């Protein structure tokens, strides 16, 4: 079983800072400068050139496709904050429980979430820190575009 990932609230409270989940925006929970999600490695840096392999490209494409649904992103955002049951997620994202269950099945199939049974109740959480990092990077990219910023690499490439 993967280790417990603390919520932002847990981390900030441990650091002696105040945090109110009710007032935190999605951007505050998922920004690229999260104190919860740091750099990760499994012994090597990821190499985007591996996407030339059709099998790798297919796997990454499936994951990105799952992240293309706003309802799934909202569910993942809630799970980023704290593990939750279908009922809790349903209330938080204003969706029917059956629709949330369906989305969780898709997310579970792709390895983005895991569920743990507690009696008759299943509590879902993000699979690991990589899922939170995906969300943080997506939010950072959207904010970057919104502000009209370009990386130095992209600007240099465009000039060439």
What is residue 85's three-state secondary structure? strand
Confidence of residue 9 (pLDDT cuts 50, 70, 90): low
Longest dimension (CA), the chain: 61
113-156 confidence digits (pLDDT tens): 999 999 999 999 999 998 999 999 999 989 988 888 876 666 55
Question: Residue 124: enclosing H or E segment and its boundaries?
Answer: strand 121-126
Q: Domain tally for the chain?
A: 1
CA distance 123 to 115: 5
CATH code, domain with 91: 1.10.10.10
Residue 82 lies in a domain: yes
Would you give the DSSP letter of residue 5?
A: P
- DSSP β-bridge partners for residue 115: 124
Could you tell me the residue range of the domain that residue 143 belongs to?
Answer: 8-34+69-159
3 part of a folded domain: no
pLDDT band with cut points at 50, 70 and 90 for residue 53? confident
* Domain assignment of residue 61, yes or no: no
Does the residue 62 lie in any domain?
A: no
Q: 153 in a domain, yes or no?
A: yes
Inside any domain, residue 2: no
């Amino acid at each position: 079983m993967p280790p417990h990932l603390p919520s932002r609230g847990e981390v900030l409270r441990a650091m002696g800072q105040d945090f109110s989940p009710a007032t935190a925006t999605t951007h505050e929970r998922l920004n690229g400068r999260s104190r919860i999600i740091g750099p990760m490695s499994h012994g090597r840096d990821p190499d985007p050139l591996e996407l030339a392999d059709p099998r790798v490209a297919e796997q990454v494409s499936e994951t990105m496709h799952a992240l293309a649904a706003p309802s799934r992103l909202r569910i993942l955002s809630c799970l980023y904050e704290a593990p939750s049951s279908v009922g809790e997620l349903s209330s938080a994202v204003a969706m029917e429980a059956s629709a949330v269950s369906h989305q969780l099945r898709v997310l579970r199939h792709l390895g983005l979430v895991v569920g743990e049974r507690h009696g008759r109740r299943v509590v879902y959480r993000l699979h690991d820190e990589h899922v939170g990092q995906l969300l943080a990077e997506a939010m950072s990219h959207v904010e970057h575009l919104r502000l009209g910023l370009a990386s130095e690499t992209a600007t240099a490439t465009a000039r060439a």
